[in-house]
Structure 1
Amino acid sequence: MTFRVDCHVKVLDDRVVERAKRAGLDAIVYAPHFTRLPEIRERAAAHSDDELLVVPAREVFTGSWRRRRHVLAIGLEEPVPDYIPLETAMAEFDRQDAAVLVPHPTFANVSFEKPDLQTHAETIDALEIYNPRHFPPHNSRARRLAETFSVPPFTSSYAHLPRTVGVAHTAFQTAIGSESDLVTAIKDGLARRVVYDDGLERWTTTAAELGHLVYENTWKKLDRLFLSGTEPTHPQHIAYDGRFDDVEL
């Protein structure tokens, strides 16, 4: 049996669900930016059905804006904020026994580098070896890192646009019926295949997603930094009840 999972998408609505089903996916992992875990869980549950499992997750932005490290955690029971030290986030994921995935390694200034992988190898459960936003050298480098550190691979569409959902997926050789099943499959390193197409559609997707990345890092970032106030996932937000005040960067 093969269970096909797009392991990281940023968008979720009826169009995304329909797109995922047309692509033959069995599940998507929904991890939007700057959104608290309870809201993610609520939206994921509302869009799950017998044909498509929507798994809630958090891509935590650790560190400062100048030196960020993004980490994808699946199976969290308690919220973890952004803007905390990488070491603190990894310890919290370990405490909650979440599956820890490294998305887009060595990409720009937002990703794990080789020293980070060396330091946290025992906590990392999977490393992304193909991301449609990346050019071939980036993906080749990620593949070499996974081999060097003997970390199981995964891929995702990393979709910030509905049209991108399903352009890449991870096919697990086991039945998965729930979030906890997926966490177990990832943490146990169960057999899987990384599936993607490097044809014309891939390059069209790359162009569209990179265009969106430019938008994210200009006007949208300006709004977050100067216009929106305290982010819902900021460690000083009232939702965290002061638990992370002493580790804020």
Structure 2
Amino acid sequence: MGVDEFRVDAHVKVLDEGVVERAKRRGLDALVYAPHFEQLPTIRETARRYSDDDLVVVPAREVFTGTWRNRRHVLALGLTDPVPDFITLEAAMAEFARQNATVLVPHPRFLNVSLGYEEIQRYSDQIAAVEAYNPKLVGGWADRAKRLVADFDVAPFGSSYAHLTGSVGEAWTAFDRELSNASEVVAAFAADAPRRVGRRSSLSHRARKAAEFAHLGVENTWEKVDRIFLQGTEPTHPRHLLYDGRFDDAAVY
């Protein structure tokens, strides 16, 4: 554990033995694991497998709402039931409210994938925290995120938003008390527990920022869009059998 604080990398996409080893070397106490396009039961099982006495892994979902060209990402912790991607933002937020999930806003006002002022204001009563920093927020995006957190006087959080193993632990949210398990980590975010946002500052951090930003190109290819959404075979497609037709009316594909 960090000195007199509990450090959480509040949003990572990767999880394996190498990630766990790196997280511990970087002084992290917990990871929030929210991979793309994986169903909640699978995420839970993976999180359970890699959690131990030295590192808590919290299962979560970054739900892609709206269409591919106009996505609004929302990070949900403490879900009890699966929620698919590519439903309307309104339907996703209603489902999060039904489940009493803890809602975080990742990478605000970033490209075409983020909640902005209008959405954060609309759902301010439901949002527990807004991300103030991750390594993908370069230049003006980082400044806009910090201003947005200040303007709404909302609790901040920080994460590596790691899509690459080497980025894990580059940024974090530090709470001022020890948290014993995933439920306590979720509760700390939900209750606006005292925290600070920390990050590494070095030449290697700049290199990690560049590598993560470059990785955006891999995530935004037409081949991926066609494979996942137009064919309707991805596990988190809203018309997948897992969801038993509950989200058919809210699906955008």
1:116 corresponds to: 119
Aligned-residue Cα RMSD (Å) equals 1.5
Residues 88-110 of structure 1, C-alpha deviations (whole Å, 9 max, x = no match): 11111111111110000010000
Q: How many residues align?
A: 249
2:140 corresponds to: 137
Q: Compute the displacement of 1:135 (Å).
A: 1.1
- CA distance in 1 between partners of 2:118 and 2:186 (Å): 25
Q: Secondary structure at the match of 2:127?
A: coil
1:234 aligns with one of 223, 237, 241: 237
Tell whether the 8 Å contact from 1:100 to 1:125 is kept in structure 2 after alignment: yes
- CA distance in 1 between partners of 2:91 and 2:229 (Å): 26
Tell whether the 8 Å contact from 1:61 to 1:69 is kept in structure 2 after alignment: yes
1:182 corresponds to: 185
Q: Are 1:105 and 2:101 matched, yes or no?
A: no
Q: Are 1:8 and 2:14 matched, yes or no?
A: no
Change (3 A) 1:219 1:11: farther
- CA distance in 1 between partners of 2:206 and 2:116 (Å): 25
- List alignment gaps of at least 5 residues for structure 1: none
The residue type paired with residue 139 of structure 1 is: A
Q: Secondary structure at the match of 1:195?
A: strand
- CA distance in 1 between partners of 2:184 and 2:90 (Å): 26
Change (3 A) 1:192 1:33: same
Q: Compute the displacement of 1:207 (Å).
A: 1.3
2:210 corresponds to: 207
Equivalent runs, 1:60-99 vs 2, <5 Å: 60-99=63-102
Percent identity, please.
58
1:57 aligns with one of 60, 66, 70: 60
2:150 aligns with one of 131, 147, 154: 147
Tell whether the 8 Å contact from 1:98 to 1:183 is kept in structure 2 after alignment: no
Equivalent runs, 1:158-197 vs 2, <5 Å: 158-197=161-200
The residue type paired with residue 119 of structure 2 is: D
- CA distance in 2 between partners of 1:112 and 1:226 (Å): 21
- List alignment gaps of at least 5 residues for structure 2: none
Q: Secondary structure at the match of 2:76?
A: strand
Residues 189-213 of structure 1, C-alpha deviations (whole Å, 9 max, x = no match): 0100100123312210011112211
Tell whether the 8 Å contact from 2:232 to 2:240 is kept in structure 1 after alignment: no
Residues 227-249 of structure 1, C-alpha deviations (whole Å, 9 max, x = no match): 97521001100000111111112
What is the TM-score of this pair, normalised by structure 2? 0.94
